[in-house]
Amino acid sequence: MLKLLSQQINELTDDPEKLKLLPHNMTIYHRLMDPEAHRDKQIPSAESLYEEAQALMFGGTDTVGNTLMVGAFHLLKHPDKMQKLKSELSAAWPSLVETSPRSAISKGYRI
């Protein structure tokens, strides 16, 4: 993953026009490579962009993973709370096969 990230950044810093080929009009790279977004009006180096991308990618992964682990731990310690959560989730999203959360919301289910 780190190699892929490094390759992406090198391609974009070597040819910033490739930003126009990305599937979205605004990505973190668009903002980080915008000179107007920086006080000194300079685009960061590839190394700096790599560090920013790493922090964003792994920062979100670590916090979400830890939160899920702690939540699962407490739910397993309290089966009554686990059952309540299961009931609420089943009411909000009754069929995992037939609908997605978005379609469940559009049908009036509260998530």
pLDDT block averages, 10 residues each, the chain of length 111: 87 90 86 90 91 83 90 96 91 74 57 49
Give the pLDDT score at 101.
63
Which residue range forms the structural domain that includes residue 100? 79-111
Cα separation, 102 vs 44, in Å, equals: 38
Rounded to two decimals, what is the model's pTM? Answer: 0.52
Give the pLDDT score at 47.
92
Same domain, 71 and 21: yes
- Where does the chain have alpha helices with state H? 2-14, 28-32, 46-77, 79-92, 101-106
Same domain, 43 and 95: no
Give the pLDDT score at 4.
86
Same domain, 93 and 65: no
